[in-house]
Structure 1
Amino acid sequence: MHFKVFKNTVLLFVMVAISCAGKGGNGTVKNEQVNEIPKQVQDDDKIIVGANRTQVYLPLLKGKRVGVVANQTSVIFRMTRDERQEAKGYNHLVDSLLALNVNIKKVFSPEHGFRGTADAGENVKDGIDIKTQLPIFSLHGTHKKPTAEQLDDLDIMIFDIQDVGVRFYTYISTLHYVMEACAENNVPLIILDRPNPNGNYVDGPTLEKQHQSFLGMHTIPLVHGMTIGEYAKMINGEGWLKDAAKCNITIVEMQHYNHDKTYSLPVRPSPNLPNDQSIALYPSLGLFEGTNINAGRGTEFQFQRYGAPFLDAPHYTFSYTPQPNFGSKYPKHQDVLCYGEDLSEVKAERRFTLEYIIDAYKNSTDKSKVFNTTNFTKHAGTEKLQQQIQSGMSEEAIRASWQDDLKAFKKIRSSYLIYD
């Protein structure tokens, strides 16, 4: 089986004593094994992520009671190019800061949980971190927004989560609610910026206000082309928080990053994005989440294939059977043979395309089975896209229909960019 994996990213030495932090999070080996992408080499080792710039933000934490919004991607890189071939090249942010005597009081976790093992959309419960004994409060369960009580004993918050630049990828919704809670409770927020692996372009339909949900809270295109730090500036600047409140944010910027740089992640950003191929294809194949077509969940090639039992078998030469696995306890069409297309070996450009979903609709033996309309609208951000596909419009014609919205967004976006 040929399976491409992330290239391990190494950015610089972190001059801190964190030898005790070799395992991160709750210290369970099982969870590290499913998240870690080992012993590969990053194309560009000059990018310095915000988390690594400890000299910038450690003074802001001195004497403060700290809360951290984090998951398995919240890491500080620590190895040289030679050393990383023999060992994991990073430590978890929480473990690292504790080793530096930062007074972390609690952790808040987004969708997929603190260790990143929960299914998409699965409610995550509050708990205790096994290794550090810190309380963990879920922001994807009973509450999507930190409560006033949870923030009452905090002086400052840190947000450090790796995003992939797609509107329905819910980490930016978590960012919104964290900023809103911090604004309401006068808690400053430090944002440790990270690259957007799909940050080189802006594309797709723009969300309409009547279709706002946790899968899309703001009137932005499907692919927004911004880092977490840039996006936080936009949330503040556009008055998107409740009552147009402003969050007191400090963005720890990256060094040597621009939007055209490619970036390979050392850790899965979520259970079903296992490699660069899946992340590049995710903006396009993510639309299948709003249909009854499987997008590779329940296989080892998540978001690198699509299929369903009602797609035309003679048209497709590829088939597979989804089975429960890490990150997908109940995949669509579990134990049922699905016909479709394998994209794991194609050269996945960093772009958004409708070709796959249009192809699947055209080659469905029962078109009434394709769309889960309400869910598809939440993902697309508009009812128009489903209607356009069903009416037989070409991709070129559909794309033309959202160009004015893209032009308007790009003008707004330009005011908030930190990087070229």
Structure 2
Amino acid sequence: MLKNKKVAVVGNQTSMIPGTSGQFVHLVDTLLNSNIKVTKVFAPEHGFRGKADAGETIKDGIDAKTGLPIISLYGSNKKPSAEQLKNIDVVIFDIQDVGARFYTYISTLHYVMEACAELNIEVLVLDRPNPNGNYIDGPILEKEFTSFVGMHPVPVVHGLTIGEYARMMNGEGFLKNKIQVKLWVVNLKHYNKNETYKLPIKPSPNLPNAKAINLYPSLCFFEGTNVNAGRGTNLQFQVFGSPYLSAEVFNFEYTPQSNEGSKSPKHLGKVCYGKNLSNSENLNYLQLDWLIEAYQNTENKNEFFNSFFNKLAGNASLQEAIKAGKSAEEIKASWQDDLADYNKRIKPYLLYE
């Protein structure tokens, strides 16, 4: 499929495959060693080598190992331009996703597919397992809350591999003007979504292990509040806390510090009161009780939510329901009809049992 074609790769530190020596080798190096004409690399949030903070501007540059030009797809340039894709025959997308709507790599995939469709360039997605692929949960995004942390009418936990997600974007007309790209997906062998898949490489700086990845869909809501979700600790997305939570209710204390992946974490240098979830049982559903409990036990409730929360939720109703004192069960009941419809809609795009 790639022979005699000029290739661009959208990748990061997770774009690894096992080499002959048993160690991981980067996809770009593997392709070059196989005489594939890779001419440039596109880098998503966190950069090509995956060391930048969340939300940090990624600069264009040159990959020191291969000498290939690296073009950032984060910041002001989220969609490859016609000039950047000039003389490219096929774009390979190979990035590990974690199955949550607000994880921005699926938004990068959207813009890559859209740009390639407009220029009649093929897209080849190398599929990877979804570590949160064994369940589907959360509200469906409403159109007026579309942003880079939620571009499509899907639930918070979408249950698809990155290859299935690409097929859905094409088939459901999610791209601009309902344009479709010539899409190839290289399927996974022997993959079962109900089997636990432990990622061999951390997918981003603040998802260091399987527990953080499992808790991420539930704890990421705290990014839209004044609660710290473990950034600035070595338990990112495994603890939460803030100086405004009741120390009597939340008896776990920690102090966020500047570290790799979070140079300026929320409540830097301040004692936070919260919970340590690093030894909790694995979730196979979206947990709202922690969010509700934090809201109910915070000082100055009118300062709890920030403007980012509704983008993460994909609606205004979740925040309103929490403020109104509704339980997690009541809130989740309101999603069920939409989730049943979503489960029917995705069937044509599924590649695995």
TM-score after normalising by structure 2: 0.98
Q: Does 1:273 align with 2:211?
A: no
Q: Give the corresponding residue for 2:224.
A: 290
Equivalenced residue count is 353
* CA deviation string 1:188-237 (max 9, x = no partner): 01110000000011100110000000010001100000001100110011
SS where residue 68 of structure 1 aligns?
A: strand
Residue type matched to 2:271 in 1? L
* CA deviation string 1:340-385 (max 9, x = no partner): 000011122232110110111111122122110x200000000000
After TM superposition, the structure 1 = structure 2 runs for residues 348-359 of structure 1, keeping only pairs within 5 Å, are 348-359=282-293
Which stretches of structure 1, 4 residues or longer, exceed 3 Å deviation after superposition? none
Q: Does 1:324 align with 2:258?
A: yes
Query: Cα distance, 1:300 vs. partner?
Result: 0.3
1-side partners of 2:70 and 2:197: how far apart? Answer: 29
Q: Pick one of 399, 409, 419 that aligns with 2:332.
A: 399
Q: Give the corresponding residue for 1:42.
A: none
Residue type matched to 1:69 in 2? V
* CA deviation string 1:43-99 (max 9, x = no partner): xxxxxxxxxxxxxxxxx11111110000000011236xxx86xxxx31111111111
1-side partners of 2:170 and 2:230: how far apart? Answer: 36
Q: Does 1:309 align with 2:243?
A: yes
Q: Does 1:375 align with 2:295?
A: no
Q: Give the corresponding residue for 1:236.
A: 170
Residue type matched to 1:165 in 2? G
After TM superposition, the structure 1 = structure 2 runs for residues 21-420 of structure 1, keeping only pairs within 5 Å, are 60-78=1-19, 89-372=23-306, 374-420=307-353
Give me the CA root mean square deviation.
1.0
1-side partners of 2:186 and 2:14: how far apart? Answer: 16
* CA deviation string 1:2-35 (max 9, x = no partner): xxxxxxxxxxxxxxxxxxxxxxxxxxxxxxxxxx
2-side partners of 1:126 and 1:330: how far apart? Answer: 23
Identity across matched positions, percent = 58
SS where residue 345 of structure 2 aligns?
A: helix
2-side partners of 1:252 and 1:401: how far apart? Answer: 36
Residue type matched to 1:207 in 2? L
Contiguous gaps of at least 5 residues in structure 1: 1-59
* CA deviation string 1:228-278 (max 9, x = no partner): 110011001111111111100110000000211110111110000000000
Contiguous gaps of at least 5 residues in structure 2: none
SS where residue 139 of structure 2 aligns?
A: strand
Query: Cα distance, 1:122 vs. partner?
Result: 1.3
Query: Cα distance, 1:289 vs. partner?
Result: 0.9
Query: Cα distance, 1:106 vs. partner?
Result: 0.1
2-side partners of 1:75 and 1:351: how far apart? Answer: 29
SS where residue 149 of structure 1 aligns?
A: coil
Query: Cα distance, 1:413 vs. partner?
Result: 1.1
Contact 1:280 1:351 (C-alpha < 8 Å) held by counterparts: no
2-side partners of 1:173 and 1:164: how far apart? Answer: 13
